[in-house]
Structures are given as structure tokens and as C-alpha cells.
């Protein structure tokens, strides 16, 4: 197995780092996760448009739709650097989920209509999957779409809509045939948000951010905004490859690990540097193993994408590891820093006091395991689809 990058790939990494050095403040430490602060959004939109101008949004897309047709490894390198720096790159639902569905199941007219504005960061998308009674069991969704001539009329409620109040379009799953089996009769739509039939209510989470409840009250959608085949939306939901993009969530943990190690090199307990404590060293080693396990599973996903090979265990193993590693990583951090880890950022005694929050904030955000299905549900997928066990 060859895990080393080529000279050209290393040059690409340096180009990405140079861009981030030039465009981000020296101590940028504000994550875009769940943030709807107006000042942040003004900066984030301007920043993302600079990324668009470089041609780096839709890096792997075909050139005729505004992409660069670059290999997926270039996208991973890009994701690693942007994730490590908490770069405020927005519209991941647009250039990821919606673009992936359009490239896989959209018509030629839809690709030419929707993809270039996403690439230019002119149109922001939010996700309309989860409902109050249909989260990990998404096939039980109740939002209803009824055909009315050249339009569809959609009514229902979505929840956990990140960035909803700042978006222009909703990537929405709705039931178009209530009599079909529950994994059929679901259709995907691009719903224009700025209309009377769409409204939002804030949903504040324990991680310190905001998501939204989304209310659809006879919202109208042109038929041409139906993505894929009518009643076959589940195929797009299960086959969503985020437009050839691949994330590097392990770099968020790597960034935190680097800060913990730096803290251990200066902080003392009972007159002894933490880095010299064998128990602490074991805990740091376990944290590093968590990072490396996620990294290797991401490399496996990269290989699957490049080879067009279905992922083992229905792709669930990487999700289980990443979701459960977050909480374990936060627990280990608090074991290392001790009770001071309960102090919020800004406290005179808070360890690893960074603008985005230190161990206290890391612990709260570590329990955000609902996106894309909880680890418990993914374990069931591992058992049934991966191992062939009965339910």
C-alpha cells in the first residue's frame, strides 16, 4: 500500500496552505458549524466566494458544469487543510449533497441550471431530510408533495436545518406516493426558500449553535426542480456521494490533539510536566490512535470512490468510528486537563483557552452524532447489511 503523496500533490497542499495563510486572520478559530451570526456570515460568504473564484468549489466536477475534473485525492488534500484551519467554507449542502444528486440523477438542463450558481457561491442550499418523527429512520418521513399542473405543492415540517435562514434553496425529501412501500414513493426537490410557504423557527443546541425547524405550508416547487425520478428519491438518499467530495473530519480531531499536546508540554501537575506523566502519555496515544483510525477509513473511502467500488458494510463502519470517537476524544481530553476542563472559554483558569472554546466546548459538541443517522442506527446497518444478521 502506497500512502505517500506525489510531488504534484504536495505542491497542491502548499498552494492550499498559502491561500489560507493569505485569506484567514492569523488566529482564526471560529467554526462554521451551526453558526448564524451575521458578522460571521458576511465574512464566510466573502471567503467562500474567493474559494469559488479559484475554481476550488466543485473541484472534482466535470468542467462543463464549472468544475475542474480533478482527482478525488486533490479534494481530500483540500478538505484536510480547510478542516484543520476551521476555514469558514459554507454551502456544503449545495456543493456536496445537492451537487452529488444532480450529477448522479439530474437532467442535463438541471445540471446547467443549478451547478454553476453553486460553484460561484451565488445560491446557498440547506438540507430538508430530518423530521420531528423521522430522523435516523428517514424512510418514515411524512412531508407530502402533491402535483398541481407544472408545480408541486409541499407541506410538512423538517428539523435540524443547519444554516436554513441563510439559504436560498432547500434540498427536500417529500412523499409523493403515500400508498407505495415506505422506501418508495419518496421524491427529491429543490425548493425555493424565499416564498410565503416556507418559514423557520430557531432550534438552539447544547453545542452552542443554532439549527432550525423548517415549516412548509403549501410551498410551491416547479416540476423542473424535481431531482431524479418521481418516487425514487431513496436511491439518491442512499447513494449520495456529495458530488465526489470527501471530507476529512479527522483533521478537526488532529487540530485539537495538537493543542492538547502543546498544553501538556507546559502544564504541570504536582510539579511534573503532564507530558512526562506515563498515564497522560497513554491517553495521548489513544487519542492519536482515534485520529489515525479515522484517517485510514477515509483513505479506504477514497479508494472506493476512485475504483467505483461499493463500500464494505454499506459504508457504516466509518460513520460508527467517527461518531463514537468524538465523545471518547473529548473524555480523554478532560481526563488529561482535569476539572479545569469544565471551565468555559474566557475564564482565567480555562485550559487551552481558544476562541472556538476549549475542552468544555469540545465535550458539548462531541455528542452531535445525529447527522446522517446515529451510531446506534449505523451499527444496525453494519449487522444487517454488512454481516447479514437478522433484525
Confidence of residue 31 (pLDDT cuts 50, 70, 90): low
Q: What is the pLDDT of residue 303?
A: 83
pLDDT-derived band of residue 1, with 50, 70 and 90 as boundaries? Answer: low
Alpha helices in 223-358 (DSSP H): 233-238, 250-264, 278-307, 316-337
Does the pLDDT value for residue 32 go beyond 70? no
Which H or E run includes 158? strand 151-158
How far is residue 239's CA from residue 216's CA, in Å, rounded to a whole number? 25
Contact by Cβ (8 Å): 246, 82: no
Question: Mean of the pLDDT values across residues 23-41?
Answer: 75
Between residues 138 and 187, which one has the greater pLDDT?
Answer: 187
Mean pLDDT of the chain: 89
Has residue 34 got a pLDDT over 80?
no
Return the pLDDT at 376: 78
Contact 127, 99 (CB under 8 A): no
Q: How far is CA 352 from CA 126, 267, 346, 368, 386, in A?
A: 33, 10, 10, 21, 41
Question: Which of 85-94, 100-109, 344-353 has the weakest average pLDDT?
Answer: 344-353
Is 272's pLDDT higher than 90? yes
Q: Domains, the chain, ranges and CATH?
A: 7-119 (1.10.540.10), 125-234 (2.40.110.10), 249-386 (1.20.140.10)
Read off the pLDDT of residues 323-349 as tens digits, 9 standing for 90 and up: 889 899 999 999 999 988 888 877 888
- Res. 374: pLDDT tops 80: no
- Spatial distance between the Cα atoms of 240 and 374, rounded to a whole number of angstroms: 17
Query: pLDDT (tens digit, 9 = 90+) per residue, 194-226?
Result: 999 999 999 988 877 788 999 999 999 999 999
Is residue 179 helix, strand or coil? coil
Asked whether 61 and 67 are in contact (CB, 8 A), the reply is yes
pTM here is 0.90
Amino acid at each position: 500500500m502506497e500512502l505517500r503523496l506525489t510531488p504534484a500533490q504536495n505542491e497542491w497542499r502548499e498552494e492550499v496552505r498559502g491561500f489560507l495563510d493569505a485569506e484567514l486572520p492569523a488566529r482564526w478559530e471560529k467554526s462554521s458549524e451551526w453558526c448564524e451570526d451575521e458578522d460571521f456570515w458576511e465574512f464566510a460568504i466573502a471567503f467562500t466566494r474567493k474559494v469559488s473564484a479559484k475554481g476550488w468549489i466543485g473541484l472534482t466536477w466535470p468542467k462543463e458544469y464549472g468544475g475542474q475534473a480533478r482527482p478525488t485525492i486533490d479534494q481530500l488534500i483540500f478538505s484536510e487543510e480547510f478542516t484543520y484551519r476551521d476555514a469558514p467554507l459554507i454551502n456544503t449542502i449545495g456543493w456536496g449533497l445537492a451537487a452529488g444528486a444532480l450529477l448522479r440523477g439530474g437532467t442535463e438542463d438541471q445540471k446547467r441550471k443549478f451547478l454553476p450558481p453553486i460553484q460561484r457561491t451565488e445560491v446557498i442550499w440547506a438540507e430538508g431530510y430530518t423530521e420531528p418523527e423521522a430522523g435516523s429512520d428517514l424512510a418514515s418521513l411524512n412531508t407530502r408533495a402533491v402535483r398541481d399542473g407544472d408545480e408541486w405543492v409541499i407541506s410538512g415540517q423538517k428539523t435540524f436545518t443547519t444554516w436554513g435562514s441563510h439559504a436560498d434553496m432547500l434540498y427536500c425529501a417529500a412523499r409523493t406516493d403515500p400508498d407505495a412501500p415506505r422506501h418508495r414513493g419518496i421524491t427529491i426537490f429543490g425548493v425555493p426558500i424565499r416564498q410565503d410557504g416556507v418559514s423557520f423557527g430557531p432550534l438552539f443546541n447544547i453545542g452552542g449553535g443554532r439549527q432550525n425547524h423548517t415549516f412548509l405550508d403549501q410551498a410551491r416547487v416547479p416540476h423542473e426542480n424535481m431531482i431524479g425520478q418521481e418516487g425514487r428519491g431513496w436511491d439518491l438518499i442512499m447513494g449520495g456521494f456529495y458530488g465526489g467530495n470527501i471530507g476529512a473530519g479527522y483533521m478537526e480531531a488532529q487540530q485539537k490533539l495538537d493543542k492538547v499536546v502543546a498544553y501538556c508540554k507546559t502544564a504541570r501537575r504536582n510539579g511534573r510536566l503532564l507530558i512526562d506523566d506515563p498515564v497522560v502519555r497513554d491517553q495521548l496515544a489513544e487519542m492519536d490512535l482515534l485520529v489515525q483510525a479515522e484517517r485510514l477509513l477515509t483513505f479506504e473511502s477514497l479508494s472506493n470512490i476512485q475504483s467505483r467500488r461499493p463500500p464494505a458494510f454499506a459504508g457504516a463502519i466509518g460513520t460508527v468510528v467517527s461518531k463514537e470517537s468524538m465523545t471518547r476524544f473529548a473524555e480523554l481530553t478532560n481526563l488529561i486537563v482535569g476539572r479545569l476542563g469544565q471551565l468555559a472559554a474566557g475564564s482565567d483558569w480555562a485550559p487551552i483557552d481558544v476562541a472556538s472554546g476549549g475542552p468544555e466546548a469540545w465535550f458539548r459538541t462531541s455528542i452531535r452524532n445525529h447527522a446522517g443517522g446515529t451510531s446506534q442506527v449505523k451499527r444496525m446497518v453494519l449487522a444487517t447489511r454488512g454481516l447479514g444478521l437478522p433484525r
